[in-house]
Amino acid sequence: MHNAYFVAGTDTDVGKTVCSCAILHAAQQAGVAMVGYKPIASGSENTPQGLRNSDALLLQHASSVAVIYDEVNPYAFYRPVSPHIAAAEEHKTIEFSVLSQGLADLKAKSECVLIEGAGGWRVPVNNSDYLSSWVKQEQLPVILVVGVKLGCLNHALLTAEAIQADGLTIVGWIANQVQPTTDNYTVMITWLEQHLPGKKIAEIPYCPTNKRDFLADYIDLKVLN
């Protein structure tokens, strides 16, 4: 197992947090000290402790290593918009050095850091850089989350091609069923198995929020070894 993985999505709202928490819970059950990291989060609420993003909180609670919120999420923005827009509105600059220092600090406290991205692969952090630029800088192995729905085959293949064009390795992928029913589900999974690089880590079924604690059972951690 590597000491860090980056969880990328084929789009926004494809279930990166659901799948990341499932991996974190599976690691906890396997006795692996894994911690979640959400470097950039748009869409947060004001609390007495400061801005808090619900996805980052879920990662914090699912981690088997105790860390404070700011370690999990160094950049929290109020509005649920692209990070480069949110940062500009709040007169902030997203610094890769901050992301890297946060990653290094979490590596020192754990066996593995699971880093959840924001939006899709090419989400911009300013007018010239993308979050993927930082992933490339850190040479992180990638786990791809595919939100299984109409159009996902195109999105999955284009995202995989972009990741590989950046010189990075897709170590595995997760099929996440984002709708209660999906036409041609089995056919699409078979196609993804034949065309995506990396091994399938899991097929996550559509699941109500209150039952997601059981999703670790679907994760095959051996794929990451």
Strand partners, 42: 77
* 97 annotated ligand binder: no
Is there a contact between 146 and 10 (Cβ–Cβ < 8 Å)?
Answer: yes
Domains, the chain, with CATH or none: 4-224 (3.40.50.300)
Q: Exposed/middle/buried for 66, CB within 10 Å: 0-12, 13-18, 19+?
A: exposed
- Structure-token pair, residue 30: 């396997």
Whole-number pLDDT of residue 225: 78
Overall average pLDDT of the 101-109 stretch: 98
* 17 annotated ligand binder: yes
Residues 6+ apart with CB under 8 A from 204: 15, 18, 19, 22, 174, 175, 176, 177, 215, 218
199-212 tens-digit pLDDT:
999 999 988 765 56
The 3-class secondary structure across 70-81, one letter per residue, is: HHHCCEEECCCC
33-57 tens-digit pLDDT:
999 999 999 999 999 989 999 999 9
Using the predicted structure, report yes or no on whether residue 123 has a pLDDT greater than 80. Answer: yes
Q: What is the pTM of this model?
A: 0.96
Is there a contact between 24 and 59 (Cβ–Cβ < 8 Å)?
Answer: yes
- Residue 15 Ramachandran class (φ > 0 left, ψ -120 to 50 alpha, else beta): left
pLDDT > 70: percent of the chain: 98
Choosing from 38, 109, 200, 211, the catalytic residue is 38
Whole-number pLDDT of residue 212: 63
- Structure-token pair, residue 144: 């791809």
- 200 as an active site residue: the answer is no
Quote helix, strand, coil % in the chain, to nearest 5: 40, 25, 35
* 13 annotated ligand binder: yes
* 137 annotated ligand binder: no
